[in-house]
Amino acid sequence: MSTKTLLSVLVLFSLLTACQLTVAPPPAQPSGVDAVGTAVELTTVAKFTEMAGSVAPATPTFTPVPTATLTSDSAAPVSGPCGPTVTATVNANVRSGPGTAYDAVGSLMLGQTATIVGRNDAYAWWYIAYPGVSGGHAWIAASVVTSACVPSVVQVVAAPPLPAEEPVAASSSDDSDDDDESDSDGGGSSAQPDLVAIGIQIGPLPARKNVELHITVKVTNRGDAAAGSFTVQWWATHALTPCSWSVSSLAPGASKVLDCYYTYGGWNPSYDLKLVADSGNTVAESNEGNNIYQDTLNVHPE
């Protein structure tokens, strides 16, 4: 190697050695600081661990709502709509027809009730369920009961025939009782007849304008002597004595059923009816206050 080359190498080596950089290691942490940091770190970890161990996981808690218990009262069924009934306000007769002319077939005592099945045309008598009698139904006067739950429409029930002798044609005499003119006490001077207007029956119902109606009435002698000849009359409001009968005699305890026909032609919706036994007041009676029977009739338009 030439001297020049060797010198070049040496110079380059010197330059390299002079330029070499020494990388100093990072300053060491003082041992005291390192120990304190470690202690703080461990203490913090331990504290969080302790807290985590002491705090239970948040588990949802369900509190049941008390369940209502039905008692026997609250479980009782709710009553439905009531049915039509009558309640007796006195001890009242139950009869076979809508009127005192009909026989009593039983009674409703004060406070007793019965089911309403129908009515008469004037709403004066109720047709009720009454077990124990023929057909299971009977009649009771509206004046001796109170009614409840009655619907706006109640069927009209036709009255049965009046229980008495055979009807006598209007304006005619009946001599079938002529042999019974003697009084029941053998002719005692104190015995007297007592003519009573018992009832009125009209059919067919409902009554309608310009439709012929069959009028049937009943009179009875409740006295203890026979009644001589007398007149029976029936009429209604705005009618001039449409029906009149002559009866030759009536024995004590005997009854007469009389009939005629009449047609309403007016526009009045309601008529007052009147039956008068002994209308001429020709028979001396023990009681003159029971010769009249009154009722009401509703007449429907055509």
DSSP helix/strand/coil, 88: strand
For residue 136, the model assigns a pLDDT of: 92
| Spatial distance between the Cα atoms of 211 and 247, rounded to a whole number of angstroms | 28
pLDDT tens, position by position, for the chain (302 residues)? 566 666 666 656 666 555 554 444 555 554 444 444 444 454 444 444 454 444 445 554 544 444 434 333 333 333 457 899 999 998 888 999 888 778 888 889 999 999 999 998 878 899 999 998 888 999 999 888 999 999 989 999 988 887 755 444 444 334 333 333 333 333 445 789 999 998 888 878 778 888 888 888 899 999 999 999 999 999 887 656 679 999 999 999 998 888 888 888 777 788 888 999 998 899 999 999 999 998 888 887 76
For residue 221, the model assigns a pLDDT of: 93
Residue 29 CB neighbour total at 10 angstroms: 10
Q: pTM of the prediction?
A: 0.48
Burial 62-97 (b: 16+ CB within 10 A, else e): eeeeeeeeeeeeeeeeeeeeeebbbebeeebbbbbb
Give the fold, CATH level 3, of 85-148.
SH3 type barrels. (2.30.30)
Q: What are phi and psi of 141, to 5 degrees?
A: -70, 140
For residue 71, the model assigns a pLDDT of: 38
For residue 137, the model assigns a pLDDT of: 95
For residue 55, the model assigns a pLDDT of: 46
Strand 243-247 to 207-208 pairing: unpaired
For residue 190, the model assigns a pLDDT of: 79
The overall longest dimension of the chain from CA atoms, in Å, is 203
Question: What number does CATH give the domain 178-300?
Answer: 2.60.40.10
For residue 170, the model assigns a pLDDT of: 44
Give residue limits of the domains in the chain. Answer: 85-148, 178-300
